[in-house]
């Protein structure tokens, strides 16, 4: 019969068949398997090609005599794409006991046979006998059960080389623990079907384990930082658990945040601030870019703009009121040392002779206002920079110092620090902005603000957090870096946590106080890093190659969160309301302003 006859036959049969819409619907219907199935499938002895991905399945064939707790956690925490299936088939205890009885008889027979032949005792047989007898006792007392356990792992990659590399890494980890695996040769289809979440054990490669070693295989062993108190820093990218932590529960309350520009470091910091305020924590911020102004207004805080033309001033000669456990003499001496460091920054460095002159001039300036270590200076008016200049001008060998200082009292920068203090930080949230300050003066301004905050912190014992954004500005000068490090070491005594945030990792680490500041910080947050700084970050934080590439490939708000001895991959998340308050994205800010303007017009 020709093709035309075949078509005529089909046409005639079609005319005789009644039209059924249900049949047409059934023929076009897709089930779930059709939707999730890859576009093409190829099965080879060692792997499967699932569309654009390759998959390889292997199984565990042997375990050591003892399995330690959490031995499987290095596999669970690998930064790779893979699936794990664990099949646990209970075995009837009575049948196991009968088999054990036969096995004990066999071992005893071998031991007696060796003794009759005069052979040396075999420790392997003795150990096996003790293990079986011990397990028999526990089975009879219902303290243990025996199971057939199948452990299968499927790894994925773009090519065979990637699969080989992943398999070699997993093998090396397991081999070190005397756990041995084999690929499912010529059974890749059954292996893959056994690993996907259908609950069908088609491989059937089992090892007998009793309850104790089986419990060590518990898969949910990935690192987490979830505690019963604290704030939400983000979610664990590995297992989606919440990262809840309280910085004030650690040995010190300090933190460092490293990230390239635009990676979300300020966003993460503002999110921590917003959530910390709900736990009665007072927050103070040194803000180089005025990023915290809207946050300050939203939470009812205060925002001070420190610049040459600003109406806000801080007098560096201010003295804190001595606490009950402090003497006025120690307070005065400490403030003099701090002021010498300030003048070293302001005047571009000091020779040893100039350092001594400055020290003596500061002491005499305070004495001019009747302030000494023996006097109660709590209600005395402190001197100003112009008073110091007057005293300095009358000292021998101070001509160069007076000339360099004049620009702060009479020159272009005269309106900066030669005024009485008129800022009040008696609020839950206070931010100091130095955005409008000239770049040459930013380290000076940040030093003065930090010193003013430190005096306020020492005055009243409260739970506080001091955030220094773009801390690399202060790390460029040894005096400012030294002062920050001193605060980091002494802050715990005054219930103060110091949070340093920076994008210029190299400037931070080049300071002699950079690495000590990191080691004195119990919390470290590393977000996306630039290729130029990643090697320095890897060396400083002892990162693995996987963690290094994780930081290079992270998206906005993603990175690694260190707290004490633990660290996890983190993704910073916020609610819609929090995002509206803390966002630094210019496009979002413009959209928010436009939305508010439209609401105001209505």
pLDDT band at 10 (very low <50, low <70, confident <90, very high): very low
Q: Where is average pLDDT lowest: 179-188, 239-248, 292-301, 585-594?
A: 585-594
Domains along the chain with CATH numbers: 55-215 (no CATH), 251-304+426-602 (3.40.50.300), 315-420 (1.10.8.730)
H-type alpha helices, 369-525: 385-393, 399-409, 442-459, 472-475, 478-490, 505-510, 514-519
pLDDT digit string, tens, across residues 122-133 = 777 777 777 777
Q: Where is average pLDDT lowest: 68-72, 203-207, 284-288?
A: 68-72
- Whether the per-residue pLDDT at 156 is higher than 80: the answer is yes
Q: Are 450 and 486 in contact (CB under 8 A)?
A: no
Kind plus residue range of the DSSP H or E element containing 413: none
Report DSSP state, residue 440.
Answer: G
pLDDT at position 155: 93
Calculate the CA 375 to chain-centre distance: 49
The values of phi and psi at residue 234, to 5°, are 165, -160
pLDDT at position 2: 45
Mean pLDDT of 376-384: 81
Q: Are 221 and 84 in contact (CB under 8 A)?
A: no
Concatenate the DSSP letters of all residues of 75-143 into one string: HHT-SS-EEEEEEEEE--HHHHHHHHHHHHHHHHHHHHHHHHTTPPP-HHHHHHHHHHHHHHHHHHTTS
Mean pLDDT of 520-524: 90
pLDDT at position 99: 80
Mean pLDDT of 279-299: 89
The three-state secondary structure class of 371 is coil
Residues 6 or more apart whose CB falls under 8 angstroms from that of 597 comprise none
SS3 string, 204-234, reads: CCCEEEEHHHHHCCCCCCCCCCECCCCEEEE
pLDDT digit string, tens, across residues 25-59 = 565 566 777 777 777 888 999 999 988 889 999 99
Look up residue 168 and give its two tokens.
């070699």
Q: What is d(CA 173, CA 434) in angstroms, rounded to the nearest whole number?
A: 51
pLDDT band at 225 (very low <50, low <70, confident <90, very high): low
The three-state secondary structure class of 340 is helix
Nearest to 407 by CA among 359, 346, 355, 354: 346
Average pLDDT of the chain, as a whole number: 83
Look up residue 191 and give its two tokens.
């292996």
pLDDT digit string, tens, across residues 183-199 = 999 999 999 999 998 88
pLDDT at position 268: 92
* Strand pairing class (255-258; 496-502): parallel
Mean pLDDT of 246-267: 88
Nearest to 253 by CA among 498, 1, 467: 498
The three-state secondary structure class of 348 is coil
- Whether the per-residue pLDDT at 267 is higher than 70: the answer is yes
Mean pLDDT of 450-465: 87
Long-range pairs of 483-486 with CB within 8 A, sequence gap ≥ 24: 483/338, 483/341, 483/447, 483/450, 483/451, 484/450, 484/513, 484/517, 485/513, 485/516, 485/517, 485/520
372 CB neighbour count, 10 Å cutoff: 13
Q: What is d(CA 56, CA 164) in angstroms, rounded to the nearest whole number?
A: 9
- Whether the per-residue pLDDT at 593 is higher than 80: the answer is no
pLDDT band at 24 (very low <50, low <70, confident <90, very high): low
State the burial class of residue 1 (Cβ atoms within 10 Å of its Cβ: 0-12, 13-18, 19+). Answer: exposed
Looking at mean pLDDT, say which of 216-220, 441-445, 571-575 comes out highest. Answer: 571-575
Bridge partner list, 46: none
- Whether the per-residue pLDDT at 296 is higher than 50: the answer is yes
Bridge partner list, 429: 283
The three-state secondary structure class of 522 is coil
- Whether the per-residue pLDDT at 221 is higher than 80: the answer is no
Mean pLDDT of 218-224: 58
State the burial class of residue 482 (Cβ atoms within 10 Å of its Cβ: 0-12, 13-18, 19+). Answer: middle
Q: What is d(CA 234, CA 173) in angstroms, rounded to the nearest whole number?
A: 29
Report DSSP state, residue 382.
Answer: P
Q: What is d(CA 601, CA 468) in angstroms, rounded to the nearest whole number?
A: 38
- Whether the per-residue pLDDT at 11 is higher than 60: the answer is no
Calculate the CA 359 to chain-centre distance: 43
Q: What is d(CA 470, CA 79) in angstroms, rounded to the nearest whole number?
A: 31
Mean pLDDT of 516-538: 89
Looking at mean pLDDT, say which of 388-392, 439-443, 502-506 comes out highest. Answer: 388-392
pLDDT at position 509: 83
Q: Tell me the CB-side half-sphere exposure of residue 86, using CA atoms within 13 A.
A: 14
Report the C-alpha dihedral over residues 340, 344, 346, 349, rounded to 10 degrees: 160
- Whether the per-residue pLDDT at 17 is higher than 80: the answer is no
Look up residue 365 and give its two tokens.
């300036």
Calculate the CA 339 to chain-centre distance: 36
User: 250: alpha, beta or left, given left = phi > 0 and alpha = psi -120 to 50?
Assistant: beta
The three-state secondary structure class of 203 is coil
């Amino acid at each position: 019969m020709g093709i035309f006859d075949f078509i005529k036959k089909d046409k005639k049969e079609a005319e005789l068949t009644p039209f059924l819409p249900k049949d047409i619907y059934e023929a076009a219907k897709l089930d779930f398997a059709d939707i999730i199935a890859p576009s093409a499938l190829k099965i080879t002895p060692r792997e499967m090609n699932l569309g654009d991905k390759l998959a390889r399945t292997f199984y565990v064939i042997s375990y050591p005599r003892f399995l330690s707790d959490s031995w499987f956690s290095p596999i669970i925490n690998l930064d790779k794409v893979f699936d794990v299936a664990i099949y646990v088939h209970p075995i009837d205890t009575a049948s196991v006991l009968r088999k054990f009885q036969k096995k004990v008889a066999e071992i005893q027979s071998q031991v007696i046979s060796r003794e009759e032949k005069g052979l040396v005792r075999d420790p392997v047989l003795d150990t096996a006998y003790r293990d079986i007898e011990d397990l028999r006792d526990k089975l009879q007392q219902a303290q243990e059960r025996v199971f057939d356990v199948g452990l299968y792992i499927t790894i994925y990659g773009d090519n065979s080389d990637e699969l080989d590399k992943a398999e070699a890494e997993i093998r090396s980890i397991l081999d070190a623990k005397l756990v041995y695996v084999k690929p499912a040769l010529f059974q890749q289809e059954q292996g893959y079907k056994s690993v996907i979440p259908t609950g069908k054990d088609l491989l059937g490669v089992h090892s007998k384990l009793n309850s104790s070693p089986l419990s060590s295989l518990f898969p949910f062993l990935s690192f987490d930082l979830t505690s019963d108190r604290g704030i939400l820093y983000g979610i664990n990218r590995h297992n989606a658990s919440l990262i809840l932590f309280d910085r004030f529960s650690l040995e010190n309350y300090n933190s460092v945040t490293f990230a390239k520009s635009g990676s979300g470091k300020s966003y993460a910091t503002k999110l921590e601030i917003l959530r910390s305020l709900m736990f009665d924590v007072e927050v103070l911020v040194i803000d180089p870019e005025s990023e915290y102004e809207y946050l300050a207004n939203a939470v009812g805080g205060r925002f001070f703009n420190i610049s040459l033309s600003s109406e806000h001033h801080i007098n560096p000669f201010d003295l804190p009121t001595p606490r009950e456990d402090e003497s006025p003499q120690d307070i005065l001496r400490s403030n003099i040392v701090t002021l010498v460091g300030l003048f070293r920054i302001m005047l571009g460095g000091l020779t040893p002779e100039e350092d001594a002159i400055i020290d003596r001039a500061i002491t005499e300036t305070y004495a001019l206002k009747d302030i000494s270590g023996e006097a109660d200076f709590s209600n005395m008016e402190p001197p100003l920079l112009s008073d110091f200049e007057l005293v300095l001008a009358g000292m021998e060998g101070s001509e160069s110092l007076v000339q360099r200082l004049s620009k702060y009292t009479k020159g272009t920068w005269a309106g900066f620090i030669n005024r009485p203090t008129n800022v009040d930080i008696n609020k839950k949230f206070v931010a100091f902005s130095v955005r409008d300050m000239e770049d040459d003066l930013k380290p000076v301004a940040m030093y003065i603000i930090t010193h003013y905050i430190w005096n306020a912190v020492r005055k009243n014992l409260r739970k506080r957090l001091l955030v220094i954004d773009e801390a690399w500005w202060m790390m460029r000068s040894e005096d400012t870096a030294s002062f920050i490090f001193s605060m980091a070491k002494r802050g715990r005594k005054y219930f103060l946590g110091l949070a340093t945030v920076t994008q210029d990792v190299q400037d931070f680490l080049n300071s002699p106080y950079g690495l000590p500041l990191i080691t004195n910080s119990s919390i470290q947050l590393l977000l996306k890093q630039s290729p130029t700084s990643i090697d320095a970050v890897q060396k400083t934080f002892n990162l693995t190659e996987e963690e290094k590439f994780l930081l290079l490939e992270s998206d906005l708000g993603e990175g690694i969160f260190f707290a004490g001895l633990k660290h996890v991959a983190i993704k910073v998340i916020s609610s819609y309301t929090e995002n509206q308050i803390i966002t630094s994205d210019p496009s979002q800010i413009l959209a928010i302003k436009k939305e508010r303007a439209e609401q105001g017009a209505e």
